[in-house]
Amino acid sequence: MKALVTGDFGREYLVMLPDRTEVMASRKGKKHDVTCGDEVIVSMTGPKAARIDEVLPRRNVLFRKDAWREKTLAANLDQAVIIVAPRPSFSTTFLNLCLVACDAAGIPATIMLNKKDLPEFEAAYESIRYLERIGYTIMSMSAKFDIEPLRPVLAGKKTLLVGESGMGKSRTVNNLVMRDVAKEGEFSEALDAGKHTTTYTRLYWLDKDTAIIDSPGMQSFGLFHLEDDDIAYAMPEFRNYFGECKFNDCAHMDEPGCAIIAAAEMGKIEPQRMAFYQALIEQLRELRISHPEWKR
């Protein structure tokens, strides 16, 4: 029968059957091609146990990959909400990597700036305000006191919540689901970093049409699976200038006659984004040269 994967525990999965009951399931054979949000075909192997026989075609899939490993986060998403917060300090590079990954996968992304009750909130907002000028939506909330600003964003959609450790994602999930489903962790002031509190991916229904997927907190977001052209196209502000560069194979790094570099010099492309793009391409090129054995 057809089922929905609602929990990814690595080698075991939780699936929701047509009657909306959930049972544990294993993948047929030794395949590791299942992720939360997948629609699958299962066979029952016991009263509360199933086997995943087939993974049905996906609308989309979001995953991250560095040179050493690949991690699929979720599939068949309507959107992603990237949660950031002023304390502990978040990485704007991580945020931009998430935005590129979502855009490359065709998944709309919203930025949720959490912990607006903190005095550092305004400075944190100003540090990413340039993303609004590109077209991204930045919302604000305090998961500790008021989760309601997030509910209209989620209504009627399947949404992946993603973010670095310590951003308040676990508290957000708990308050949305209205029970303590995600262990809340406190960040380390000394290390200025959050403790990982979620180690698996889990889908929760808020109502019959609305679901959130909670993913483990992370400190990096690799894009090793993307080609240089894929990354450029996943930068929305670059698209107006495609086809205008002097060379067809322009990588927008230091080539003469590059329309995107010219646009950046004229202030039409945010300098933070141009610097992010060029640093990312340079980093990926160095990895490919130094480790040719790594395959994407």
- Structural domains of the chain, ranges and CATH numbers in brackets: 2-55 (2.40.50.140), 61-214 (3.40.50.300), 228-290 (1.10.40.50)
Region of poorest pLDDT, from 158-162, 172-176, 273-277, 287-291: 287-291
Ranges 55-59, 180-184, 217-221, most confident: 55-59
Q: Are strands 137-140 and 109-113 parallel, antiparallel or unpaired?
A: parallel
Mean pLDDT of the chain: 88
CB 270 within 8 A of CB 132: no
Q: What is the C-alpha to C-alpha distance for residues 184 and 80, in angstroms, rounded to an integer?
A: 21
pLDDT greater than 60 at residue 185:
no
Region of poorest pLDDT, from 139-148, 196-205, 237-246, 252-261: 196-205
**Which has more confidence, 32 or 219?**
32
User: Residue 237 carries which DSSP code?
Assistant: G
Torsion of CA 7, 12, 15, 21, to 10 degrees: -100
Angle at 217 between CA 176 and CA 84, to 5 degrees: 70
Backbone angles phi, psi at 284, to 5 degrees: -65, -40
* pLDDT score, position 64: 85
Average confidence (pLDDT) over 156-184:
84
* pLDDT score, position 250: 96
Of 172, 184, 121, 122, the closest CA to residue 148 belongs to 172
pLDDT greater than 80 at residue 205:
yes
Region of poorest pLDDT, from 70-74, 119-123, 206-210, 291-295: 291-295
Average confidence (pLDDT) over 237-262:
96
Q: Quick one: residue 192, left, alpha or beta (phi over 0 = left, psi -120 to 50 = alpha)? A: left
Of 80, 79, 75, the closest CA to residue 38 belongs to 75
Number of Cβ within 10 Å of residue 281's Cβ equals 16
* pLDDT score, position 293: 63
- Bridge partners (DSSP) of residue 161 are 81, 214
Q: Which two tokens stand for residue 183?
A: 């262990």
* pLDDT score, position 199: 57
